[in-house]
């Protein structure tokens, strides 16, 4: 029977299947961060268990860590944050798993570190106690978030109990227009299908516009599969994928590389395989997008105006009214007239080198608007080092941006980088929920190029007008 890519990876990892379809899946990579792991390790300790496959388990602190240069000084952390980071430190050492502490240049956001170090490879099952594990699907891996009790289960057994999801295909045909990026693709999909559109499915993204994306862009697309409700998102591996993986510290070498490559080349959906749901979007129809509300599905082209609650139906009317009140926006207002106070470039959605290059290309030789607070937080220490080497850091600093150390930073208010009430931010992250970037803070999601454009003008801006 013709199989999808998801079917193939699933079948290759089933250890046992119950009559009701509940399956035990083998897990190839377990990524761990400080927020969702302390109780899991504590559980192991209480039961006198060890980590079953420490060589496949990778830990890095990212959510709580300050991103200022003086962050080695623990006094810059809140008590809660310090406890979590110290617990990870202790657990990583005690259980003998791979670890990238804050002092290590390879430290960064777990979803950036995994691929960068060659832990994430095609055909693997990858889990992490974090919803944006979907990012790793860009390699043609089955990657998804798990809860803390599942983290404990995977640590102890290297397996996970799962039920298979349905297959969904999201095809982006043709090419993107200038000024339009991977972020706009992934936001366009959620704008069209809604935050529940992918519920119960694993999405395979395909089509010419996806094939034309770099690995960085593909990670951006898969990263937000979870915002569209999907269990995971994935993309068939191709020559770009293989080139990205080759030579990475933990990628196979020599004969093992050749064998892996031969297998990876089989990882594509067979002709005629069945998808339970299909969504098709023309790449050339996608414009640079921004969110106006408090859900990632509240997306509009930058050329649009703020909607009115009456434009919606059912429960969405009230939701829109509440969103607009929270966001401090008026129906009919042009989005390009909305002024912003803060610009955040970073996160596991858009904290990779290509994102920094895109933002720097817009900022080169320009200054940010007076009074603007703007920061770039590279997704890892290695991204940061590369950006310095390429001269991007200088462009950001000369423009007036703060040049920070790696971490989740202002993507979520778990560390010192936060918005104040009613402060308005254009952010390259993936969630615009109420309070996400700080209590009362207002978030507009957009691409790195769009964030850079807004930094210059002080308002939401169509990056195509600046070029």
Ligand X SMILES: CC(C)[C@H](C(=O)O)[C@@H](O)C(=O)O
3-state secondary structure labels for all residues of 194-238: CCCCCCCEEEEEECHHHHCCCHHHHHHHHHHHHHHCCCEEECCCC
* Per-residue binding letters, 48-77, with ligand X (x by CB under 6 A): ---------------x--------------
Nearer to ligand SF4, 329 or 411 (CB): 411
Q: Which two tokens stand for residue 279?
A: 């969504």
Q: Which two tokens stand for residue 158?
A: 């290297």
Nearer to ligand SF4, 415 or 457 (CB): 415
Interface with ligand X includes 35 (CB under 6 A)?
yes
In the complex, which residues of this chain contact ligand SF4 (CB under 6 A)?
Answer: 62-63, 109, 111, 130, 132, 347-348, 408, 411-412, 429-430
Alpha carbon 456 to its chain centroid, in Å, reads 25
Kindly tell me which residue out of 36, 84, 159, 223 binds ligand X, with binding defined by CB under 6 A: 36
d(CA 28, CA 123): 9
Kindly tell me which residue out of 76, 131, 199, 308 binds ligand X, with binding defined by CB under 6 A: 131
Interface region with ligand X, contact rule CB under 6 A, candidates 129-137, 150-158, 190-198, 363-371? 129-137
d(CA 397, CA 395): 6
Nearer to ligand X, 146 or 245 (CB): 146
d(CA 25, CA 14): 5
Q: What is the dihedral of CA 37, 352, 395, 345, to 10 degrees?
A: -60
Nearer to ligand X, 111 or 404 (CB): 111
If contact means CB under 5 to 8 A according to the sort of partner, which of ligand X, ligand SF4, none does residue 35 touch?
Answer: ligand X
Was 206 annotated as part of a binding site?
A: no
**What contacts 45, CB < 8 A, 6 or more positions away?**
none
Interface with ligand X includes 30 (CB under 6 A)?
no
**What contacts 23, CB < 8 A, 6 or more positions away?**
14, 15, 16, 17, 161, 162, 163, 164
**212 near 175, Cβ under 8 Å?**
yes
If contact means CB under 5 to 8 A according to the sort of partner, which of ligand SF4, ligand X, none does residue 159 touch?
Answer: none
> In the complex, what is the shortest distance from the CB of residue 430 to ligand SF4, in angstroms, rounded to a whole number?
5
Interface with ligand X includes 228 (CB under 6 A)?
no
Interface with ligand X includes 141 (CB under 6 A)?
no
- The residue written with tokens 């080139």 in the block is 243
Output the known binding site for [4Fe-4S] cluster.
348, 408, 411
Task: Give residues in contact with ligand X (CB under 6 A).
Answer: 35-36, 63, 130-132, 145, 412
């Amino acid at each position: 029977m013709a199989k999808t890519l998801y079917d193939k990876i699933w079948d290759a990892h089933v250890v046992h299947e119950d009559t009701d379809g509940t399956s035990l899946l083998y897990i190839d990579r377990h990524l761990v961060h400080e927020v969702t792991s302390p109780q899991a390790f504590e559980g192991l300790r209480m039961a006198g268990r060890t980590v079953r496959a420490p060589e496949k388990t990778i830990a890095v602190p990212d959510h709580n860590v300050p991103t200022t240069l003086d962050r080695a000084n623990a006094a810059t952390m809140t008590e809660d944050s310090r406890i979590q980071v110290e617990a990870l430190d202790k657990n990583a050492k005690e259980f003998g798993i791979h670890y990238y502490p804050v002092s290590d240049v390879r430290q960064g956001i777990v979803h950036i570190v995994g691929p960068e170090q060659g832990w994430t490879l095609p055909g693997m099952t990858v889990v992490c106690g974090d919803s944006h594990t979907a990012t790793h699907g860009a390699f043609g891996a089955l990657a998804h978030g798990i809860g803390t009790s599942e983290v404990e289960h995977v640590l102890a057994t290297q397996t996970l109990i799962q039920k298979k999801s349905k297959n969904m295909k999201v095809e982006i045909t043709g090419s993107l227009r200038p000024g339009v990026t991977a972020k706009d693709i992934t936001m366009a999909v959620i704008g069209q299908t809604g935050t529940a559109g992918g519920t119960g499915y694993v999405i395979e993204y395909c089509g010419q516009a996806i094939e034309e994306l770099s690995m960085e862009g593909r990670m951006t697309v898969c990263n937000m599969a979870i915002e569209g409700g999907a269990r995971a998102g994935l993309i068939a591996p191709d020559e770009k994928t293989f080139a990205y993986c080759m030579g990475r510290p933990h990628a196979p070498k020599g004969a093992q590389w050749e064998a892996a490559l031969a297998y990876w080349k089989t990882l594509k959906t067979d002709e005629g395989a069945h998808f339970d749901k299909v969504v098709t979007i023309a790449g050339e129809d996608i414009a640079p997008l921004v969110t106006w509300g408090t859900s990632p599905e509240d997306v509009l082209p930058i050329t649009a105006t703020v909607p009115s609650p009456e434009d919606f139906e059912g429960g969405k009317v009230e939701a829109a009214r509440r969103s607009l009140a929270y966001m401090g926006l008026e129906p009919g207002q042009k989005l390009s007239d909305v002024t912003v106070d803060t610009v955040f470039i970073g996160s596991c959605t858009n904290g990779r080198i290509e994102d920094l290059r895109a933002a720097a290309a817009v900022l080169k030789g320009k200054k940010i608007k007076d009074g603007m607070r703007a920061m770039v937080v590279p997704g890892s220490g290695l991204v940061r080092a590369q950006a310095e080497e390429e001269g991007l850091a200088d462009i950001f600093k000369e423009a007036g941006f703060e040049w920070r150390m790696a971490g989740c930073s202002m993507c979520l208010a778990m560390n010192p980088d936060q918005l104040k009430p009613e402060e308005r931010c254009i952010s390259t992250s993936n969630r615009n929920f109420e309070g996400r970037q700080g209590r009362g803070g207002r978030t507009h999601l957009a691409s790195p190029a769009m964030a850079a454009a807004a930094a210059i003008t002080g308002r939401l801006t169509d990056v195509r007008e600046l070029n």
